[in-house]
Amino acid sequence: MVGIVSLDSGVHAVFSVHHGMVGEHRAFIVEEFIKNGGLPVATQRAFRIRFGLGRREAVPDKKMIHRWVSSFRQTGSALKQTSPGRPRTTTGPENVAVVRASIRKSPRCSARKHAAALWLSDRSVSRILHRDLLMHPYKISIAQKLKGCDFENRTKLCRDLLNVRITDVVFFSDKAHFHLSGTVNKQNF
């Protein structure tokens, strides 16, 4: 999408937007804001109409509209600029490949031990595992092996519990504490 916009100072600016929804939204906001004479509420209404949003659905707020227009006036682009500062080197492609190879070599080793062996910080290794390699930590849960008669016993117990009257007392004898908020304290296992 390419357009020409006349700014308040009389300068004409050309902007181009990629075919993404965010770019399309930003370009529309900038155009409408300038067309409406700097009124953010009118811009929000036009945004709702253009993109078929209801009254309760989220639209860019006044601060965001002013930020996008200011960015457009300064840089000539409505797109998000690359953030200034030092580029991320710790989570670069080289370290991602090194962490991937280390995990494949010894998958049962902890992330902390991998970090120490690779001379990377714990946080960098966990960030690489989570964001780049799509690996997530998990907690091992304790379970018992089911036997053939367990299914029949469980269905019998469920039928019996369905027949329990409200006035009857139901007693669970487990070593877990159940709270009203729905959390379970399983520290006694």
Q: Tens digit of pLDDT for each residue in 145-187?
A: 888 888 899 899 888 878 876 656 656 555 556 566 666 666 6
127/65 same-domain check: no
pTM exceeds 0.85: no
Q: Is residue 144 part of a domain?
A: no
Span 104-133, average pLDDT: 89
Q: Is residue 85 part of a domain?
A: no
Report pLDDT for 140.
72
43/107 same-domain check: no
Span 72-85, average pLDDT: 80
Residue-wise pLDDT for 5-56, tens only, equals 444 444 344 333 333 357 888 889 999 999 988 899 999 999 999 888 888 8
User: Range of 98's domain?
Assistant: 93-132
3-class DSSP assignment, residue 109: coil
Spell out where the chain has E strands. 2-6, 12-16, 177-178, 184-185
170/108 same-domain check: no
Number of domains in the chain: 3
Residue 119 has pLDDT above 50, yes or no: yes
Amino acid letter, 167: T
